[in-house]
């Protein structure tokens, strides 16, 4: 069965599986892993029946590792291959993003993807550890990329919140653009809490101070009558705090 699976994956060893279309490769991986789970379930059920029937006899010949060891190994390797493929798909969005500061991250990602497509390994050989070494290296690299993402976002949010306008609304929009990248390990919770705290302690307080200082003599455009000018000024104050509030409520 393992030989048949290898033939199915590689078109009878005529292709490198890395050259397969992504969806086609994932489909083949799914079929093989589904087959492995079916075989394993049947084996365990059969083993249980035999053990119940022969209570006083040893059943060493029913060892799961002995009968399904190679199949289990192949399934584990394919799980890791799936992780690699899906990680590349997710992080490839970084190179397409219009967010600034990603040049170094994109370079790191492109380098390790090129390594994967060119280095030699035997996915089916338990004695070939090159694949596992690359898998561990990839996870380490992706953790580094995530750290750099956090640093870039933290810097950008700090710049926005400490700018003269320092609108929380703009910071929330930037955070949403990062979230839309759907990076596996990226957690926006910490940044969202920071923005909420800033909104509460800084932005609302500043609007309150401006309102109290200027409500009797607000800045009115020359072409507006005093009453209309006051109303428009009050609306601007309200809009300034409401825009971020609406974005916060969308996340509830």
Q: What is the DSSP string of 110-140?
A: HHHHHHHHHS---TT-TT--HHHHHHHHHHH
Longest dimension (CA), the chain: 101
Mean pLDDT of 88-97: 79
Exposure string of 207-217, with b = 16+ CB inside 10 Å and e = fewer, is eeeebeeeeee
pLDDT for the residue numbered 166: 61
Exposure string of 16-37, with b = 16+ CB inside 10 Å and e = fewer, is ebeebeeeebbebbeebbebbe
Mean pLDDT of 175-179: 85
pLDDT score of 49 more than 80: yes
pLDDT score of 56 more than 70: no
The length of the chain in residues reads: 252
pLDDT for the residue numbered 57: 62
Higher pLDDT, 95 or 177: 177
pLDDT score of 217 more than 80: no
**Cα gap 57→175, rounded to integer Å:** 64
Mean pLDDT of 174-190: 80
pLDDT, tens only, 63-81: 778 788 899 999 999 999 9
The residue among 187, 184, 203, 205 whose CA lies nearest residue 195 is 203
| Predicted TM-score (pTM) of this structure | 0.73
pLDDT for the residue numbered 73: 93
Most confident segment among 30-44, 95-109, 151-165, 232-246: 30-44
pLDDT score of 235 more than 80: yes
Task: Please report, in angstroms and rounded to a whole number, the separation of the first and last CA atoms in the chain.
Answer: 50
CB 191 within 8 A of CB 157: yes
């Amino acid at each position: 069965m393992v030989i048949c699976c290898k033939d199915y994956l590689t078109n009878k060893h005529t292709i490198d599986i890395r050259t397969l279309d992504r969806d086609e490769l994932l489909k083949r991986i799914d079929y093989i892993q589904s087959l492995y789970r079916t075989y394993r379930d049947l084996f365990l059920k059969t083993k249980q029946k035999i053990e119940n029937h022969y209570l006083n006899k040893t059943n060493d010949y029913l060892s799961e590792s002995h009968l399904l060891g190679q199949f289990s190994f192949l399934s584990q390797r394919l799980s890791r291959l799936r992780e690699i493929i899906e990680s590349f798909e997710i992080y490839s969005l970084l190179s397409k993003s219009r967010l600034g500061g990603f040049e170094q991250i994109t370079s790191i990602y492109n380098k390790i993807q090129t390594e994967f497509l060119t280095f030699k390994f035997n996915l089916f050989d338990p004695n070939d550890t090159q694949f596992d070494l690359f898998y561990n290296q990839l996870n380490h690299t992706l953790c580094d990329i995530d750290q750099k993402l956090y640093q870039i976002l933290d810097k950008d949010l700090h710049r926005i919140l400490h700018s003269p306008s320092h609108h929380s609304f703009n910071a929330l929009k930037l955070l949403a653009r990062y979230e839309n990248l759907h990076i596996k390990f990226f957690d926006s919770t910490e940044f969202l809490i920071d923005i909420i705290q800033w909104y509460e302690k800084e932005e609302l307080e500043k609007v309150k101070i401006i309102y109290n200082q200027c409500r009797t003599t607000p800045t009115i455009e020359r072409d507006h009558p005093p009453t209309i000018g006051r109303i428009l000024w009050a609306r601007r104050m309200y809009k300034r705090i409401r825009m971020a509030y609406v974005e916060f409520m969308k996340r509830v």
